[in-house]
Structure 1
Amino acid sequence: MNRTISETKKTLEANTNEVNISYFLRVTSALEGTYSYFLRQSPLPDYPELLDFQWIKKDKIKAGVTFALSQDGAAISLPKAPFGGVWTEEKLNSKSLEGFLLSVIENLQKRNIQSVRIVQPPKPYGEQVDLINYILFKNGFKVEEVVSQQFYSGKKKIKKFAQDQQIKWSPKIKESGLKMQMGPIQNFGFLEEIRSWNMQKGFSVTFDESRLIQQVSEFPERYFLISIMKNKQAIAHALGVMLTEDSLYYFLSAINPKSEVKNLGDLILAKFFFLASELKVNWVDLGSSDLPEGPNHNLIHFKSRFSNDICIKITWSRTI
């Protein structure tokens, strides 16, 4: 059952006496910070405030969560992003995590916030994700959405897998007269091709082009474009993003439906893993495989050939 405000305050007072005596909550503009998950510091035009709530002990940040605050009294972590969520800088016990959460809620109440929404990242992004989800559930947050995401984890495993893929597909690339391109984004013409190709296939196109261009302009070192060319024309694109300093996210991709070259999806993922190996990341995030009506079993099966783990991303919500 949801806790009442009075019950929440009593629990907060108890935690303050027992646990939080050496912690304090610091709230600052997220735009002034620097985070491994860089979208925590990316401005949102539709939200007047982007605040970072930090759990401080001995002048060090132990945990944090960034919220975008709307004018109608909603706090979201984070809108227009793959996720937001509570992050820990080191392993914290359950009481400390709960104390942090309750302190954040109390602060949001004082800001006249009525609803809270947290998109908690999948487990590879933090070893305490399961504990955080547990604490959220026990403090009145309800599950709004569950999404599965597929991963390939392990720096050495990624390197070996990339080498195997390169050996496997090099003859195909040469035989088909293809050219593989990989590197930072030089221009944004590929976005229109991705949009057009996906629309021709009947896929929904949901990315915010203006926001993406803004993010690439602010964090050019985090975005990488992979393209497959034939006769000097692009026939496939994939956009990779280093969401954190040790991960690579498979964000956008599309294949020209008029191309007669087979296995382009496999080829572009093989190159994506080569990029991940070059960047020496610890895991590759292949994203979700969901349809409005349920799991996209065909896509899950395809990604299973390029993944060694599957985790869930939970969206939590609560009124306060």
Structure 2
Amino acid sequence: MLLVLHATLQHPAILRLIGWCNRRWMFLGSVFLVYAANEEYALTYASPRYYPLMRWSPWIAGVLRQNGRWALMLVVSSTERDFTNPASHRHLTALVEEVERLRRLVGAPQKTFAGILPGVLARTGILTDSPEAEVTLVAIVQAEQQVREATGYAADVPVIILGGRGFIGKRLVERFTSYGRNTYSVDVIDVASNPWPAHLTGQPAILINVTRKTALRAYIPHCWPALIILNEVYPEPEPEELAALTRIGAPVYHLVGVAGTAFPRFPKAYAGAIPCCAAQHHPKLRAVIRRLG
């Protein structure tokens, strides 16, 4: 299917036709670039023989629908290691330019990027705007409220932001602090200024994970049964991590994304929603969570 989409829809004449129709009827609100977190995820998009062709060249991979509007999904086979490699700067720049070209052709108002890409693009100065950030913040705040309501925790329960110095983490700390919540930033980049709040041990609290996929594992020994973990990181925690948290008795919830439909649907823990970073601003935006383990 990926080959069919690439050979047909990605033709400039077809994209211009889509753009003409979209400017008239405004059904397509965004283009969204996704990448695979690992080999298992990558195999849901394409076979390995096509990875070299898709490494820095986005291919159309599907469509998303949320709150009555559509988005076009693009995919690349490059990885987080590629994105964070300083030698990849020119490739990243060209990738963003290509996504922008496609956005203009189809007449979509916005373009968004998955995973760590918004932070990498902001840090390298390739992009200064980030529509993903605000939508992700709204979804996380909603998800945290849903977790509290599901577990009966009070509205003023302390919040620990794992990755509080990151692209989303900084904004999340500011957001919860502005709500008057006791908010603790934990970050491996600056442990001295962002230490683990050991004084909360044993008390009801919520840990929101918004850092790199490997960071949660290091903090599992510090967790306790009354600490609820809400994971926003892509991909979801590994089975060994879930097993370790289950032994401790700490419940784990995963922010699947925002209520919407995807064709083809997203794999594994992301099925049944669309990623927060792919969502478009809407007053009826609704976060979708799932308990893991």
Normalising by structure 1, we get a TM-score of 0.27
- Structure number with the bigger relative contact order (C-alpha 8 A, sep ≥ 6) is 1
Structure of larger gyration radius: 1
More helix by share: 2
More strand by share: 1
